[in-house]
Amino acid sequence: MADDLIAPPGLTPLAEGREAEVFVRADGNVVKVMRSPDQEPRVRREATALQALADRDHLAPAFVEVTEVAGRPALVSERVSGDDLLARLSRQPWLVLKVAGTLGRAHAAMHAHEAPDTLPALHDELARRIQSAKALPSRHATAALERLEALPEGDRLCHGDYHPQNVLGTLDAPVIIDWGDASRGAPGADVARTLLLLRMGELPPDTSAPMRALTAVGRGMLARRYLAVYTRHMAEKPSRLDEWFFVRAAARFNEELEAEYPRLLKLLDESPTRPAT
């Protein structure tokens, strides 16, 4: 990870993550500065997704510009007020069903959009991740690539990392952020990624003990309600979701989150190894 960026004049630190630091500019807009100069493609992908959703209020922040800060690529967008949905759940866990409903509705609205041709194909992205995942056993990599080849490619706008922390705003007017993994693909692939994260994703390191206990109990409820609401708004269940789930679990190894390896391996080991026909 690169050294932390010292905020230049006119930028006020707001937040930071593994890949970027976020600042507020003097004009009130948010500047997301990538930690590495070679992450410009991710900035361009995010800009493309935001521009594709420019006509949809409350679905993505308004795009402002792509720029550079201290030699690093940066995206400037509208600042969105309100906590993310995970933070809201940590304070108000009794809202789990409403949060799940918001997740489902917003995801369905996203998939109503055809993706711009300039976004990369999700099939290619997943194949690359599976092939380069060092900790993924070869038998599972082979099975995942076989399944991927048999699955539909699709042309919908996919987020690639859709989960409660990437949804801000209110329950009635959610705004989806962090579009650096945006791609063109099948809705089922995007839904499977979300289900994987809801069911077994690692919580942020600063998550409180009470929230971790509640999460262990509420994961299944959140995932089931999310999928039910998504399906209702799409008028049909995503096709071949079990196959996509297997592929997404294999691709998750590429992110090198060692704490998740045992759960992911258990999931892959318990799944049939032959792709569906």
Task: Kindly report, residue by residue over 144-164, the tens digit of the pLDDT.
Answer: 999 999 999 999 999 999 999
pTM (2 d.p.):
0.90
- Give the separation between CA 48 and CA 179, rounded to whole angstroms: 9
Q: Which of 228, 223, 234, 195 is nearest to 108 (CA)?
A: 234
At position 71, the amino acid (one-letter code) is: G
Average pLDDT over residues 216-234: 90
- Give the separation between CA 12 and CA 33, rounded to whole angstroms: 12
Coil/strand/helix, residue 58: coil
Distances (CA, A) of 222 to 5, 173, 259, 263, 267: 36, 19, 22, 19, 19
Could you tell me the pLDDT band of residue 2, with boundaries at 50, 70 and 90?
Answer: very low
- Give the separation between CA 268 and CA 243, rounded to whole angstroms: 11
Average pLDDT over residues 48-53: 95
Could you tell me the pLDDT band of residue 205, with boundaries at 50, 70 and 90?
Answer: low
Q: Tell me the per-residue pLDDT of 37-48, one tens digit each, with 9 for 90 and over.
A: 999 999 999 999
pLDDT of residue 81: 87
pLDDT at residue 56 greater than cutoff 90? no
Residues with Cβ within 8 Å of 19's Cβ and at least 6 positions away in sequence, in order, are: 34, 35, 36, 39, 42, 180
Residues with Cβ within 8 Å of 142's Cβ and at least 6 positions away in sequence, in order, are: none
- Give the separation between CA 141 and CA 132, rounded to whole angstroms: 10
- Give the separation between CA 107 and CA 8, rounded to whole angstroms: 36
pLDDT of residue 236: 76
**Neighbour-count burial for 222-260, b at 16+ CB within 10 Å, e otherwise:** bbebbbebbbebbeeebebbebbbbbbbbbbbbeeeeeb
Chain mean pLDDT for the chain: 90
pLDDT: which is higher, 8 or 269: 269
Average pLDDT over residues 3-29: 82
pLDDT of residue 47: 97
All domains of the chain in start order, with CATH? 11-77 (3.30.200.20), 85-269 (3.90.1200.10)
Place of tokens 């807009």: 29
